[in-house]
Structure 1
Amino acid sequence: MRDFSVGMNTSKESSASTFNGYAALGLLVVAVAAVFWSIVSFDAATSGPVHGFALILGGIAALLILPGFFMIQPNQGRVITLFGAYRGTDRTTGLRWIWPWMGRTKVSVRANNVHSERVKINDLRGNPVEIACNVVWRVADTAQAVFDVDDYREFVNIQIEAALRTVGARHPYDDMSEEDETTLRGSADVINAELQAELNDRLKVAGIVVDEAGLTHLAYAPEIAGAMLRRQQAEAVIAARAKLVLGAVSMVQMALDKLSADGIVNLDDERRAAMVSNLMVVLVGDRDTQPVVNTGTLYQ
């Protein structure tokens, strides 16, 4: 387990104090109306200081209120700062308002889907393989995503490649031995779960959670693909031959037992061996056999 937070202050998301934007919009309408009334009804002869105060206060209020509006859509948040200091995150959807001198950074907390580039790595046995994955991730802590890493999206892309290399190097591409071990090709569920855990461990410093991760491409590198294909074909032929031989031996045994049990013919050891040889050739051979009719005795 790695801990990227050693030596730095880890941020933590908290709720920000913002205001209802519709209430602020009502105040803005009042301020604009006061300014408009002051201008329309102004008369140098009859107007008193009320018009001047209404014009000044209405203008200042409008200038303060207007820049403070912002909109938050579903599954979005705004990180609020005051002169560089974190003041919380607002996740309340709709029209919101805050003092105009406070900073607002928009952060999406929606699920993101990333398909990585193909990466060439060496598996546990040193064979070069090409591997790629698909990752579904989202921001869980907006403060960490904004303040603890420089660019959290680029950080995710780099860590995906690093996690692919780490997980791919832990296991062989395929099982070349008789042992039942985890392989990249034959243990998809295990590899995907391990990749997801590796990514969550790497991305927790940025406040990011991986909901799903899985391999989308897995193949030997082109320089060894031909040799590995021939090896797989040889293994398939060997497995088929082994199964065929086992079946042929069972059939020969059944035939000899049946002949002896029914008393059809009694064979000595030499003739039994010859019959076994002939039956095995017929059952295991790749080509059709040509029968030979024996017109003499059994021993000629």
Structure 2
Amino acid sequence: MSTTTSHSPESEGAPEAGGARSARLIHNEATTEIPVHLLFRDDPEPVSVPLAPAVVGRRRGTGEQPRVPRRPAAPVPARPAPEVDPELVERPARVLPGGVGVLAGACGVAGCALTSWWAGAVPPPALDALGLPWSAGAGFGPAQWAAYAGAGALGLFGFGGLARGRTGRAWVLGLFGRYRGTVRRTGLLWVNPLVLRRRVDVRLRHWRSEPLSAVDANGVALRVVVLVVWRVKDTARATLGIEDHESYLRDCVEAALSRAPVEGPAVKGGAAASRSAVGDVLTRLVAEDTAPVGVEVFSVQPVRIEYAPEVAAVMHRRRIAALDAQNRATALTSVVDSVEDTVTRLTMRGLVELDDYERKALVKDLTVAFCAGRGDASP
């Protein structure tokens, strides 16, 4: 009797050496390659076999794509908050009431006039007209020139430092490149004329952007117009900590739109709630980016969302096709309900007695009639 021994394909071409078993392998999509002789060892020591998924190719004969194990998403590290220069913190500047400047300027003008009378530079007709006593005049000596200089400097400082503070406007003062404070007071004020003044608008402002690029959750290109409500909270940081806080605000809005997905204009149901949620996310992102530069953002809301020009035609056709399919499904459901209601009423009231064949014929005729009626009424 001859015994036929079957050999697996894996064992062919692998001759046994020295009486050892052939290194046949078992392949499985959920395991790594496991030598067969490890599964039938005589020694009792346990063998640790890694069972992690390690499929790198297609399954033979099935054409099935390999299943890649999902790795947990790595946590996004929190961005460190930028350090703020302690010198760039808004503080009130030292100013005086405007009446002090007017008084100082008037004293300077009066001192110049008195010095001119002392030097004899005022003509007699002018003295007679003003009712002043005539003076022989001491001439222009060092004392007269010193009096002129002092009175002129007093007049220039008095009138040159006058300023008018307006509601919603502030001045950022700097002297020799150093921040000296912020003036938020209103009315007539006297500010040191040697300091550099920068006017800042601190009112509540809004900015309506031009169409900005964005994407939805599926990666479709969009154009979004947002309305930003903001104001300058810290004038020192907004003016001295950055070159242009308005341009920086625009850049922050564009960066937030690139990070937050926006729902497209064809979102199904809950469009208002979806836009409100997107606005909350944009407000939080922009507020976090602009807080270090002294800009306070209250709201960033999308007011218009449309598809980008390169995908607008395709999305419009897709939207029309979806609406057409929805209308067809609604019409079919209505017809089926009408046919069912008609047949049920006829049979329950005993008007007709139908067997299965007659029932099917009646349902067919009613369906055709209702569909034809809807087709005639639709135009």
Normalised by the length of structure 2, the TM-score is: 0.66
Q: Give yes or no for contact 1:116–1:160 (8 Å, CA) kept in 2.
A: no
2:278 maps to 1:194: no
Offset, 1:109: 0.7
Task: Give the aligned partner of residue 210 of structure 1.
Answer: 297
Cα distance per residue 1:199-255 (max 9 Å; x no partner)? 212211221122333223322222222221121112112222222222222222221
Q: Give yes or no for contact 2:227–2:302 (8 Å, CA) kept in 1.
A: yes
Bigger CA drift: 268-277 or 124-133? Answer: 124-133
Q: How many Å separate the matches in 2 of 1:272 and 1:186?
A: 48
2:110 maps to 1:33: yes
Q: How many Å separate the matches in 2 of 1:119 and 1:60?
A: 55
Q: How many Å separate the matches in 2 of 1:3 and 1:109?
A: 28
Offset, 1:172: 4.4
2:166 maps to 1:73: yes
Question: Gaps spanning 5+ residues in structure 1: where?
Answer: 290-300
Offset, 1:51: 6.5
Cα-Cα RMSD: 2.9
Bigger CA drift: 258-267 or 78-87? Answer: 78-87
Q: Give yes or no for contact 1:133–1:213 (8 Å, CA) kept in 2.
A: yes
Q: How many Å separate the matches in 1 of 2:185 and 2:274?
A: 43
Q: How many Å separate the matches in 1 of 2:153 and 2:312?
A: 73
Letter in 2 for 1:68: G
Task: Give the aligned partner of residue 333 of structure 2.
Answer: 246
Give the counterpart of 2:188 among 75, 95, 102. 95
Offset, 1:150: 1.5
Q: How many Å separate the matches in 2 of 1:40 and 1:116?
A: 64
Q: How does 1:117-128 map to 2 (within 5 A)?
A: 117-128=210-221
**SS at structure 2 position matched to 1:187:** helix
Question: Gaps spanning 5+ residues in structure 2: where?
Answer: 1-77, 121-134
Greater radius of gyration (CA):
2
Q: Which has the higher helix share?
A: 1
Q: How many Å separate the matches in 2 of 1:32 and 1:200?
A: 52
Q: How many Å separate the matches in 2 of 1:235 and 1:128?
A: 19
Q: How many Å separate the matches in 2 of 1:27 and 1:172?
A: 64
Q: How many Å separate the matches in 2 of 1:210 and 1:76?
A: 18
Q: How many Å separate the matches in 2 of 1:15 and 1:228?
A: 56
Task: Give the aligned partner of residue 173 of structure 1.
Answer: 264
Q: How many Å separate the matches in 2 of 1:107 and 1:171?
A: 34
**SS at structure 1 position matched to 2:119:** coil
**SS at structure 1 position matched to 2:242:** coil
Q: How many Å separate the matches in 2 of 1:242 and 1:15?
A: 69
Q: How many Å separate the matches in 1 of 2:80 and 2:369?
A: 67
Offset, 1:156: 1.7
Give the counterpart of 1:256 among 321, 327, 343. 343
2:323 maps to 1:236: yes
Q: Give yes or no for contact 2:172–2:198 (8 Å, CA) kept in 1.
A: yes
Task: Give the aligned partner of residue 50 of structure 2.
Answer: none
Q: Give yes or no for contact 2:117–2:137 (8 Å, CA) kept in 1.
A: no
2:172 maps to 1:85: no
Bigger CA drift: 98-107 or 260-269? Answer: 98-107
Letter in 2 for 1:254: D
Q: How many Å separate the matches in 2 of 1:156 and 1:126?
A: 25
2:97 maps to 1:9: no
Offset, 1:174: 6.0
What is the aligned residue count? 282
Q: Give yes or no for contact 1:134–1:214 (8 Å, CA) kept in 2.
A: yes
Offset, 1:50: 8.6
CA distance 1:83–1:92, shift in 2 (3 Å): same
2:370 maps to 1:287: no
Bigger CA drift: 63-72 or 130-139? Answer: 63-72
Q: How many Å separate the matches in 1 of 2:307 and 2:198?
A: 44
Q: How many Å separate the matches in 1 of 2:181 and 2:80?
A: 25
Q: How many Å separate the matches in 2 of 1:108 and 1:89?
A: 12
Task: Give the aligned partner of residue 269 of structure 1.
Answer: 356
Bigger CA drift: 243-252 or 140-149? Answer: 243-252
**SS at structure 2 position matched to 1:254:** helix
Q: How does 1:44-55 map to 2 (within 5 A)?
A: 54-55=147-148
Letter in 1 for 2:375: R
Letter in 2 for 1:76: R
Q: How many Å separate the matches in 2 of 1:274 and 1:140?
A: 78
| Bigger relative CO (Cα 8 Å, ≥ 6 apart) | 1
Aligned identity (percent) is 28
Bigger CA drift: 60-69 or 20-29? Answer: 60-69
Q: Give yes or no for contact 2:104–2:157 (8 Å, CA) kept in 1.
A: no
Q: Give yes or no for contact 1:76–1:91 (8 Å, CA) kept in 2.
A: yes
